[in-house]
Structure formats: structure tokens, C-alpha cells
Amino acid sequence: MQRYFVDQKIENKFTLNSEDSYHILKVMRMTIGDRIEIVFNEKTYICFIVCLEPHIVAEVLEEKSEMNELPISVTLVQALVKEQKMDIILQKATELGVDQMIPYQATRSVIKINQKETKKINRWQKIIKEASEQSKRTKIPKVQPVMTISDLLTLKDYDKKLLCTVQENTKNLKNLLSNVREGAKMIVVVGPEGGFTKEEEEQFIQAGFQTVSLGKSVLRTETASLFIMSAVRYHSMR
């Protein structure tokens, strides 16, 4: 059953936006009486379509009980990479349960984006919305504006602050996750293709970030991000 997110509920009916209405009508070829899942305020409803024009209107049949979100909140700070790689990271990290994404303008990032850029952020948010629907999540992770290291160093209220590194004699992710419990909030920083500069690593460490290893192999940045999310998801399995 197709899933859609909405931000307004009137009595027991939902009106979908133009984009989702188009998808239901033209792509899925649905009609009056067909059923869809709607997520509103992180609650899932089984609905049936009662109106097609000008927008799809769906009426609630029943509320569905779900526990789809990770019990550990993960903010993934991803250094800016080329567009195709960034799209994959956003999509797959969402499927794996990330809570929030922060694009990071690292020193060695090949891509440079103005912090006031909204068009690209909106595009990334759309990718995340679609991945949330496809993976049957009950919330859509938030993409924050692009941050610099100065912005990241001011972030607080995290139980674990991790910095991925290839430094030797660094505690590995498996050992660190063994001490993470349900309800914890983590922030993990992943560098660009060229890695962090020595100065960047020192700044993060001085701000309370703990260096973490992903094993003996050197992973590409997109592999590292998805490895982390996969490990957290595995650790969180009940």
C-alpha cells in the first residue's frame, strides 16, 4: 500500500498536495475507493480515496499501530560530496533510520555551497520525503542548512559525539555502540573524499567529539555513512 505524508487533518479526512495527488492519479492510476496509507503527526492511518479533483481527498478507515523508527536518534553530518553520491547517501541513510542530516562544508569538500542556498536543500528534502514513504517510516528526517565547522562545534545536547577517522589506535564503532542505549542521541561526522585536515580533527576533538574507527579498511565517504547507519540499525534491533 502506498504511503504519503500530510501536514493537515480536518475531522477524519486528509487533502493531499498537488505532487502527491498527481502521483496517485497519473503514476499509480488509483481511483475512488482505493486505499492508501497516510502519516500525520507520526501516526499512520489506513484511508480510502473519496475525491480525485482538484486534489486527492482520503477518509480514515482506521489508525495503524507502528514502531518503525530507530530507538536511537542519529544526526548524520555528511561532508559535501558530488551530487550523485549525496543523493544516494540521503536516500539510503533515510531508509536506514537517520533522524537528521547536516551537510558540512569541510575544508577538502570538492563541492562548495552557499549557506543561504535553498533550492538544493529543498531538493534534498524531497529525496528524503520519498525515501521515508518508500521505507514506511512515520517521520521525515530534516535536512539542515549547510554548516561550517564553527556551526558544528556549537551543537549540544548529544549523548555521543563521534568523528570518523582513519587514525590508528582509535576505538572502533562496535565497541562504542555497545554502550549506547535506547533513547540516546548521537551525532556522527563523516568527512569528504579527501578526508579531514589535521586542523579539523583537532578542532572537533577539542569540542568533545570522540574519534571512531570503522575498521581496518579505508572506506569511501558514501560507504562510511551507510556503514554507520547500518551498524546503528543492527545494534538497535529488538
Q: Which residues contact 24 (CB under 8 A, 6 or more apart)?
A: 2, 4, 16, 30, 36, 49, 56
Q: Residue 238: pLDDT above 70? A: no
- What topology does CATH give the domain 3-64? Ribosomal Protein L25; Chain P (2.40.240)
CB 39 within 8 A of CB 6: yes
Q: What is the edge-to-edge ordering of all strands in the sheet holding 43-51?
A: 3-5, 35-40, 43-51, 57-64, 13-15
| Type and span of the H or E element at 84 | helix 83-96
In this structure, what DSSP letter does residue 169 have?
A: T
List phi, psi (to 5°) of 111. Answer: -90, 135
Percentage of residues in the chain with pLDDT exceeding 90?
80
37-86: per-residue pLDDT in tens?
A: 999 999 999 999 999 999 999 999 999 988 889 999 999 999 999 999 99
Domain ranges of the chain: 3-64, 73-236
Give CA separation, 118 vs 19, 123, 127, 143, 210, in Å.
19, 9, 14, 11, 31
109-126: per-residue pLDDT in tens?
A: 988 887 667 889 999 999
* Reported pTM: 0.90
Bridge partners, residue 57, by sequence: 15, 51
CB 62 within 8 A of CB 45: yes
For residue 101, name the pLDDT band (cuts at 50, 70, 90). Answer: very high
- What topology does CATH give the domain 73-236? Alpha/beta knot (3.40.1280)
